């Protein structure tokens, strides 16, 4: 059945193939490019590449004969995403801007921009969604490496009801092949590896511009010996390996003391018994609109293919019961110690098999 669909396009191969597939299916399509680049804030990093992205968007839409509109979202993005991540980083936590971008901008403020005549909003995310008569279920993408349900976990049921992910059933290699078959201008364009609003820019440079430098000590976790100095604890996250810059490694960040501005590291990361057993999670969003009462589920606490079998020990803030309202805290215990550190501020996302149930912010890791 022909639908009226708003398609979010970014200038990358994934959203381009999404647009082409929906066009092939005969839908009434309108493409939208969300401009969230903060030119003034990012001017210190050089020329913002949003124009290059938009050039690709324009070329793809012209080839497919789909009208495209640029929607300015800079202020919304700054107020709802950028300000939050800077606050969290300054507090020593590890936020995820991509989750917030999807929740507040792509499937949030953008819904308010378009009118109610649009049946769906489609994106190039690697995820799948099953629309039933009463509920929409978010499921993992077919490509386990590219699966992006972690970034979509905080969407509400109302947001999911209008969402489409046309390439979620495809592996990345096939998406590339389809781009070639459609002769899309983006077929050979490299994927962006950057954070939602920074693109190819360096995240550390962005943090430095907002928070500056604050020299402190790097200390070996096991011995208490000072091994070096750093320029601010906010440049480090639990489990980090790259960027420590010391010989004798590999070194990993295992803990941070925010008040004393100390970063603790270890080169025996597998043996360090901290931040690997479980987490307390607040503001959990059950994206189907109701709480799952199962006590054994899989959890992800960062983007990637790895999921961890876990037990939900408590649904209540005070630990007194297993059933409560949707906004209670969860205590999630891993069945086996993680090889990766768990960082406060990250999102914990729960899965029942391939079904993504939702996510919440990690208040505490232990």
Element at 10 (helix H, strand E):
none
- Pairwise CA distance, residues 292 & 338, whole Å: 24
CATH topology of domain 213-271: SH3 type barrels. (2.30.30)
**CATH of region 278-365:** 2.40.30.10
* β-strand partners of 311: 296, 333
Q: What is the pLDDT of residue 239?
A: 86
Of 48, 61, 101, 356, which residue is the catalytic one? 101
User: Do 235 and 94 touch, CB atoms closer than 8 A?
Assistant: no
Count CB neighbours of 102 within 10 A.
22
* pLDDT, position 80: 87
Instruction: State residue 175's pLDDT score.
Output: 98
List the structure tokens of 200.
């190819």
The domain covering 4-124+166-181 belongs, at the CATH homologous superfamily level, to HUPs (3.40.50.620)
The active-site residue out of 48, 61, 196, 356 is: 196
Q: Write down the pLDDT at residue 299.
A: 97
Sheet with 226-230, edge to edge strand ranges: 226-230, 216-220, 262-266, 252-257
User: In the annotation, is 356 catalytic?
Assistant: no
How many angstroms from the chain centroid is the CA of residue 254?
A: 22
Residue 140 · residue 356 · CB < 8 Å: yes
The string of DSSP letters for 57-70 reads HHHHHHHHT--EEE
How wide is the angle at C-alpha 342 spanned by C-alphas 338 and 345, nearest 5°? 160
Low-confidence ranges of the chain (pLDDT < 50): 197, 318-326
What is residue 91's predicted lDDT score, i.e. its pLDDT? 94
Counting Cα atoms < 13 Å in the Cβ hemisphere of 233 gives 23
Neighbour count for residue 69 (Cβ, 10 Å): 12
Give the pair of three-digit tokens for residue 67: 């009208």
Cα–Cα–Cα angle for 129, 329, 103, rounded to 5 degrees: 35
Residue 319: strand, helix, or coil: coil
Model pLDDT, residue 154 = 97
Domain coordinates of the chain in residue numbers? 4-124+166-181, 213-271, 278-365
What pLDDT does 329 receive?
85
| SS3 category, 271 | helix
Q: CA–CA separation, 274 vs 176, rounded Å?
A: 41
- Of 90, 77, 66, the closest CA to residue 18 belongs to 66
The pLDDT score that the predictor gives to residue 320 is: 45
196 among known catalytic residues: yes
């Amino acid at each position: 059945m022909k639908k009226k669909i708003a398609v979010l396009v970014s200038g990358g191969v994934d959203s381009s193939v999404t647009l082409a597939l929906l066009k092939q299916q005969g839908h009434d399509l309108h493409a939208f490019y969300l401009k969230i680049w903060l030119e003034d804030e990012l001017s210190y990093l050089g020329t913002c590449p949003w124009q290059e992205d938009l050039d690709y968007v324009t070329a793809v839409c012209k080839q497919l004969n789909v009208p495209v509109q640029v929607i300015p979202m800079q202020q919304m993005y700054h107020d709802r995403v950028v300000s939050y991540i800077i606050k969290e980083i300054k507090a020593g936590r590890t936020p995820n801007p991509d989750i917030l971008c999807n929740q507040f901008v792509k499937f949030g403020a953008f819904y308010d921009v378009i009118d109610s005549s649009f049946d769906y909003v489609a994106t190039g995310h690697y995820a799948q969604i099953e629309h039933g008569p009463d509920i929409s279920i978010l499921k993992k993408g077919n490509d386990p490496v590219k699966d992006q349900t972690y970034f979509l976990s905080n969407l509400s049921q109302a947001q999911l009801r209008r969402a489409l992910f046309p390439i979620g059933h495809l592996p990345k290699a096939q998406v590339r092949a389809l781009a070639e078959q459609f002769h899309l201008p983006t077929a050979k364009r490299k994927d962006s590896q950057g954070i939602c609003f920074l693109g190819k820019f360096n995240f550390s440079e962005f943090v430095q511009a907002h928070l500056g430098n604050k020299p402190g000590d790097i200390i070996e976790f096991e011995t208490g010996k000072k091994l070096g100095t750093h320029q601010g604890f906010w440049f480090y996250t639990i489990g980090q390996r790259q960027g420590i810059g010391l010989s004798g490694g590999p070194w990993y960040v295992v803990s941070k003391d925010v008040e004393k501005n100390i970063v603790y590291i270890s080169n025996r990361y597998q043996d360090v018994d901290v931040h690997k057993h479980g987490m307390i999670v607040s503001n959990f969003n059950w994206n189907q609109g109701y709480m799952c009462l199962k006590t054994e589920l899989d959890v992800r606490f960062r983007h990637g293919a790895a999921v961890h079998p876990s037990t939900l020990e408590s649904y209540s803030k005070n630990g007194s019961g297993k059933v409560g309202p949707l906004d209670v805290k969860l205590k999630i215990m891993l069945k086996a110690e993680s090889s990766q550190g768990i960082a406060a501020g990250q999102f914990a996302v729960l899965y029942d098999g391939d079904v993504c149930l939702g996510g919440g912010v990690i208040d505490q890791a232990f």
